[in-house]
Amino acid sequence: MAVDMSVTFGTRTLPNPVMTASGCAANGRELHRFFDVSKLGAFVTKTVMMDPRSGRGTPRMAETASGMLNSIGLQGPGIHAFVEQDLPWLKSVGARVLVSIAGNTAGEFADVAKVLVASDAFDCVVGVEVNISCPNVANRGLVFACDPLASGKVIALVREQLPRDVPMFAKLTPDVTDIVSIADAAVKSGATGLTMINTLLGMVIDTDRLRPHLGGITGGLSGPSIRPVAVRALWQVTAAMREGRFQTVPLIGVGGVRTGRDALELIAAGATGIQVGTATFNDPNAPQRVLTELEALADSHGVARITELVGIAHDRMVIP
């Protein structure tokens, strides 16, 4: 029997939980050569800021054990070009779009959201992912998501710009002592849900040249190597919500998903949605394949709805 793969985030129901991860799928056209991006639960766009950005110099990447580092530096066309060229294209192919936005200051996030909301193709947008895992120019370049107050401020300002019914996700970094406190702040400030996790701060040194490998010195670590950290973050936040420490919101899991089995791992930890990032570089069909595999796996577990598996590992602990 076919499993009902649909999932709901606030007012929006998606046909399935599988999405691309921001920055790992560009804005759609490239992957559409391999599979129909409208078949995914949602397409998550590369984080866009107000102005066009060149990003950093190169090398921008280093391969690591079961993963990679990147220091793209949020290269992008700026929100105006995005809503004029990228969003209409995604709409034209029937994609449901989760738009990832960022700003150098809390105010810039809100400005970006405002332009987005005012755009013609906004009706294909099923949500906004607020990438607070980027440096806060006003606060010594400290990443917003490292601080509950800064995180809450950004979320509240973006919330004001978005229509009530548009889901908003705060994307968190795992590079914090206590991710639950950041999650709490984001939810209290109006996040419909949380996306976890962004990359871990890492670094590779070129041992021939004896200097940092990346032009940007440090970079973000992603790929299967970090999956255990993603599972743990989802687990901790889900546990906190189950304990009633703050309001229960849906989570989107991201970090090291390469197979349907990996996706199920994040779902069992508490994720309602799943994003496929670095694995796409290994296999351009990965998002679609993960969906197929996940569906088969859910079926083999005998569930009627994928949502029955969300957070299930919390109910199945064996205390010997």
Partner 1 sequence: MSRAEQSGVVQVQGEVIATRRVGAYHHLTIVAPGVAELARPGQFAALSVGGLTTGNLLRRSFSIHKVSPSGTYGGTLDLVIAAKGAGTEWLTSLRAHDAVDVVAPLGRAFPLPTEPVPCVLVGGGYGSAPLFWLADVLRERGCTVEMVLGAASEDRLFGVVEARRSADGVTVTTDDGSAGVKGWVSDVLPEVFTRTGAPVAYACGPMGMLQSVTRVASEHGAVAQVAVEEAMACGVGVCMTCVMPVRDKLGVTKMVRSCVEGPVFRGDRIRWEAFHDGVCGVPEDAVGAPKVGGH
Ligand X SMILES: Cc1cc2nc3c(=O)[nH]c(=O)nc-3n(C[C@H](O)[C@H](O)[C@H](O)COP(=O)(O)O)c2cc1C
Which of ligand X, a second copy, partner 1, none does 100 bind, CB closer than 5 to 8 A by kind?
Answer: ligand X
Least distance (Å) between residue 217 CB and partner 1: 11
DSSP assignment of 105-169 equals SHHHHHHHHHHHHTSGGGGGEEEEEEE--SB-TTTTT-BGGGSHHHHHHHHHHHHHHS-TTS-EE
What the block records as the tokens of 173 is: 């970094």
Least distance (Å) between residue 69 CB and ligand X: 8
What the block records as the tokens of 61 is: 């990447």
- By residue count, the chain amounts to 320
Q: Is the dihedral of CA 185, 191, 192, 194 positive or negative?
A: negative
Can residue 212 be called a binding residue for a second copy (CB under 8 A)?
Answer: yes
Angstrom distances, CA of residue 197 to CA of 7, 215, 301? 19, 24, 26
- Cross-strand bridge partners of residue 20: 276
Question: Is position 131 annotated in a ligand binding site?
Answer: yes
3-42 footprint of partner 1 as x/- string (CB under 8 A): --------------------xxxx---xxxxxx-------
Can residue 226 be called a binding residue for a second copy (CB under 8 A)?
Answer: yes
Which of ligand X, partner 1, a second copy, none does 84 bind, CB closer than 5 to 8 A by kind?
Answer: none
Residues 122, 275: Cα–Cα separation, whole Å: 21
Which of partner 1, a second copy, ligand X, none does 171 bind, CB closer than 5 to 8 A by kind?
Answer: ligand X
Question: Is position 46 annotated in a ligand binding site?
Answer: yes
What the block records as the tokens of 280 is: 């796409």
Question: Is position 39 annotated in a ligand binding site?
Answer: no
| Block residue for tokens 């738009």 | 99
Least distance (Å) between residue 304 CB and a second copy: 16
Least distance (Å) between residue 247 CB and partner 1: 30
- Cross-strand bridge partners of residue 55: none
- Cross-strand bridge partners of residue 198: none
Contact status, residue 285 vs residue 16, Cβ threshold 8 Å: no
Can residue 71 be called a binding residue for ligand X (CB under 6 A)?
Answer: no
Smaller CB distance to ligand X: residue 243 or 286? 286
User: 129-154 in b/e burial notation, b at 16+ Cβ within 10 A?
Assistant: bbbbbbebeeeeeebbbbbbebbbbb
Question: DSSP label at 82?
Answer: I
Question: Is position 198 annotated in a ligand binding site?
Answer: yes
Part of the chain binding a second copy (CB under 8 A), chosen from 16-24, 189-197, 212-220, 281-289 = 212-220
Site for ligand X in 87-146 (CB under 6 A): 100, 131
Least distance (Å) between residue 284 CB and partner 1: 5
**What is the radius of gyration, based on Cα positions, of the chain?**
18
Least distance (Å) between residue 166 CB and partner 1: 26
Whether 134 sits among the annotated catalytic residues: the reply is yes
What the block records as the tokens of 319 is: 């205390």
Residues 138, 157: Cα–Cα separation, whole Å: 16
List the catalytic residue out of 24, 124, 134, 146. 134
Site for partner 1 in 235-274 (CB under 8 A): none
CB atoms within 10 A of CB 35: 16
Question: Is position 223 annotated in a ligand binding site?
Answer: yes
Count of residues engaged in binding a second copy, rule: CB under 8 A = 53
- Helix extents (H) in 189-259: 227-242
What the block records as the tokens of 295 is: 């569906």
Estimate to the nearest angstrom the gap between the alpha carbon of 260 and the chain centroid.
17
List the binding residues for FMN: 22, 46-47, 131, 171, 197, 223, 255-256, 277-278
Residues that bind partner 1 (CB under 8 A): 23-26, 30-35, 46, 51-61, 63, 65-68, 70, 72-76, 78, 104, 137, 141, 209, 215, 223-224, 278-285, 318-320
- Note the residues at the interface with ligand X (CB under 6 A): 21-24, 46-47, 70, 72, 74, 100, 131, 171, 198-199, 220, 222-223, 226, 254-257, 276-279
Active-site residues, by number, are: 134
